[in-house]
Structure 1
Amino acid sequence: MSWKPWVLLCGLPLLSGCFGVNTSQAPLATTYPATTQQRMQAAYHWEVLAQHEAKAIMADRRLDRRALYIKPPETETAFSRGFRSLLTSELVKQGATVRTSDLGAATVTFDVQVVAHQDRQPIRPPQGALTALAAGIAVATIPFNHWREPALALIPAAGLVDLFSGSWTSESDEEVIITVQADEYQTLLYSSSNLYYINPGDSGQYGRAPAASTERGQLKVSSQW
């Protein structure tokens, strides 16, 4: 047997040590662990957020027994009007002293940022969605073989949809970041931020999203000839 192949095989590990094996010209793309995010699409959801923030403010030791003043936002929207009223009601309901001026009170403010994604990658369906769909299709084929009425085949699949559809919703390319803060004497005493999906048609209720890029098929207008 020739000794040359053995020399080559033994030399490969030594040769590979001269180069970086686990290297890349740029960072490799990876994903985050699967998480969930709620969709805000009803005035009731504003009330839920107001209840949450009021409870958190009342529980904060730095705001304990302090009078509060909820400052109107600089830009008024449907959300800002509704949320300010709801937050005021919830704070009063939970025993807070809410004043109509900032004299001798900690000032509560809230800010809303609308985020519009222009090039989002596909998002995986809810966990179990494909399994339930596949099971519904498989079960729905049984009546065609054993039942005389084909319309009855829709019953199993419809039952699965009724069972799981309440917890399913689609993702959106538009989101809002809602931040509630309280400060006094130029000192921040409380800060809380929450993120939600919103329906694209509802963005005007929170403030307009950034304009879409002109690179995505929109005509760029110029006054120069």
Structure 2
Amino acid sequence: MLRKLCLLGVGSTLLAGCFTTNTSQAPIATTYPISEQQKMQAAHHWDVLAQHQAEMLVNKLGNKPLYIKPSDETTPFNTAFDTLLTSQLVTAGATVKTTSSMAATISYKVQVVEHKDREGIRAPMGTYTALAAGIAVATVPFNNWTEPALALLPAAGAADLFSGNITSETSEEVVITTQVIEGTQVTYSNSSIYYINPGDNDHYKVKAEKKAKPVNVTSEW
């Protein structure tokens, strides 16, 4: 019996030597480090983006005259961003012209990204710890106070305090790229990515026109 076990062990060792360890038939899935991404869900957020771009443009281009090229597509975002960026540039001290003559041209592109099969996203760090702590705190008045409903007060207070920090990821995002072109050279390019609510995607892209159904014409009565 002992001999058989020894032979089996030696055979297994020799067999293992024929293969390389830590191998895979395809790349294994891994994750990225935790990062944050803002959610755009108000016209005020468009103004915040315009202010940010205006400050960066002034820092990059100085007093160079600028011309904002209107977007080829008419959407609520494009219409608003034209005026918001103009206002923020003027406020920042930039020279904004109404024609492209003798001016650097500012243009922007908007792309809506729709994820069809996104896996779950990890909750923010500390979520489950805070939840467990909230439950534990709520049990204190429940166990010691005469009115059980008072157990809701700690949780309600925490909700009032931190409710502004609560948001959720969505399956749709928008990529907004602002560029400056002088002649044939791109002298400035900056992209921002935001989550958006699926119901707001028509703020950023033109709705596809519905094709009319073909009508069959026949001479039969």
Do the structures match in fold with TM over 0.5? yes
Report the CA distance shift for 1:4/1:20 in structure 2 as closer, same or farther (over 3 A). Answer: same
Q: Structure 1, residues 54-78: CA drift from partner, whole Å, max 9, x if none?
A: 1111111xx2332100000000111
1:107-147 deviation line (CA, Å, top 9, x unaligned)? 00011101111111111112111111111112212222211
**CA RMSD in angstroms, aligned pairs only:** 2.3
TM-score by length of structure 1 reads 0.87
1:125 corresponding residue in structure 2: 123
Change (3 A) 1:127 1:208: farther
Counterpart mapping for 1:3-14 below 5 A? 3-14=3-14
> Post-superposition shift, 1:201?
1.2
What is the CA–CA distance in structure 2 between the aligned matches of 1:183 and 1:83, rounded to whole Å?
Answer: 18
Alignment coverage as a number of residue pairs: 213
Maintained 8 Å contact 2:73/2:206:
no
- For the 8 Å contact 2:177–2:189, the answer to whether it is kept is yes
CA distance in 2, matches of 1:168, 1:13: 55
Give the fraction of aligned pairs with identical amino acids, expressed as a percent. Answer: 57
Is contact 2:138–2:155 with CA below 8 Å preserved after alignment? yes
Superposition pairs of residues 1-225 of structure 1, within 5 angstroms? 2-60=2-60, 63-208=61-206
CA positional deviation for 1:11: 4.6
Matched-pair contact (CA < 8 Å) for 2:112–2:172: yes
**Which secondary structure does the structure 2 equivalent of 1:171 belong to?**
coil
State the one-letter code of the partner of 1:38: Q
* In 2, Cα distance between equivalents of 1:208 and 1:96: 31
Instruction: Structure 2: give runs of 5+ residues left out of the alignment.
Output: 215-221
Q: Residue 141 of structure 1: SS of its match in structure 2? A: helix
1:137-160 C-alpha deviation (Å, 9 max, x unpaired): 122122222111111110111122
Question: Which consecutive residues of structure 1, in runs of 5 or more, have no partner in the other structure?
Answer: 211-221
Distance of 2:206 and 2:104 partners within structure 1:
29
Q: CA contact under 8 A between 1:177 and 1:194: conserved in structure 2?
A: yes
